[in-house]
Amino acid sequence: MIYRSDNLDLIKSIVKITDVIRDSGIEFKGNKGLCPFHEEKTPSFFAADKRGRFKCFGCGESGDIFDFVQRFYGMDFPHAVNFIKERYISGIDVNVTSGYQARREAKKAEKERIRQLWNQLIKAQRKLKSILTHEKPSFSLDGVSGRYVYATNHIDLINLFLDEFLLNENKFLEFYGKEASEFASYINNDL
């Protein structure tokens, strides 16, 4: 199950944080009550449905409904999401996994793309260098291979790509990823 952050936002827009807090059994009236996260005799724990957040001015605890349920009931994030879904929005089809998990998977995929692109570019650089070394024309320009001319004209570009890559791999992937991949792929497979 993949949880999408817009689904989490949907849940937050449907479920009132004051309901979740009141249902937890702590002393809570209107929008304030006794903080469950520290000992106190006068209420300094506030919640606002409009913003969907709570904050304690005594101990500093704050967060949204998922944070409250996780901390109050000692649940991890996926259990907190299920708890809220089952208790407050059963019957509404909200398919959610943790946004954290989704972000982690996206990060992993990007890392893999970066690794592949780097290998492609290194391989292409090696091929161009090899062509420049081994296919160098000896006397005249007659009979210069098209591969040699191409390598001469493009070695600077591949070096530049690799420099930029090393400066910031994420930025490189974002701005030049597609172009660099096609370029390297041509050199590696068709040149």
Residues that bind Zn ion (CB under 5 A): 35, 37-38, 56, 58-59
Find the shortest distance in angstroms from Cβ 54 to Zn ion. Answer: 10
How many angstroms separate the CA atoms of 33 and 175, rounded? 51
Find the shortest distance in angstroms from Cβ 33 to Zn ion. Answer: 10
* Closer residue to Zn ion, CB minimum distance, 60 or 137: 60
Find the shortest distance in angstroms from Cβ 52 to Zn ion. Answer: 18
* Closer residue to Zn ion, CB minimum distance, 45 or 172: 45
Find the shortest distance in angstroms from Cβ 58 to Zn ion. Answer: 4
Paired residues of 45 in beta bridges: 33, 56
Helix 77-88 vs helix 5-14: angle between axes, to the nearest 10 degrees? 40
Find the shortest distance in angstroms from Cβ 69 to Zn ion. Answer: 16
Find the shortest distance in angstroms from Cβ 57 to Zn ion. Answer: 8
156-162, long-range: CB within 8 Å, 24+ apart, which pairs? 157/183, 158/121, 158/124, 158/125, 158/128, 158/183, 158/184, 158/187, 159/125, 161/121, 162/121, 162/122, 162/125
* Closer residue to Zn ion, CB minimum distance, 8 or 69: 69
Element at 29 (helix H, strand E): strand 28-29
Q: Which phi and psi angles does 32 have, rounded to 5°?
A: -145, 160
Answer whether 73's CB lies under 8 Å from 81's CB: no
Place of tokens 């597609």: 178
In sequence order, which residues have a C-beta less than 8 Å from that of residue 123 and are 6 or more positions away? 184, 188
What's the token pair of residue 190?
A: 């068709």
